[in-house]
Structure 1
């Protein structure tokens, strides 16, 4: 059995990802990442099991080094 990633946490750094779709109060609105430019190096750091399953956080999306919780 595989665990699903926490949709409210960045799969790169584990910090809250501000995902609009993961929050029931904003799930009917587009997520911030729909219009954000995601750094190519950030895309490469997303673990395979989290691709298309959890947003990365704005910090990681910008290409900054992730901070560990």
Structure 2
């Protein structure tokens, strides 16, 4: 079973609250690179949000992110 509140990369809570009515979630204010979204494992695409820390790490140091999470993709 897929938990939509767990990041598909680090497996920690993603902090997404976009499903709460009238909520202004952090994920509405950050650009998630298409290249990162394409790395989400197929079974989790459109089912779980990437956490802010993983988005920031990918943007800051793509190579480190890929080393850390390459076995998932």
TM-score, normalization by structure 2 = 0.64
Q: Would the alpha carbon gap of residues 30 and 47 (structure 1) be closer, same or farther in structure 2, given more than 3 Å must change? A: farther
Match of 1:12 among 9, 12, 19: 9
Match of 1:47 among 41, 50, 54: 41
| Partner SS for 2:38 | helix
Aligned length: 61
TM-score, normalization by structure 1 = 0.66
The aligned runs of 1:13-28 (5 Å cut-off) are 13-21=10-18, 27-28=20-21
Q: Which runs of 5+ in 2 are unaligned?
A: none
2 CA distance for matches of 1:54 and 1:37? 16
Q: State the partner residue of 2:29.
A: 35
Q: Which runs of 5+ in 1 are unaligned?
A: none
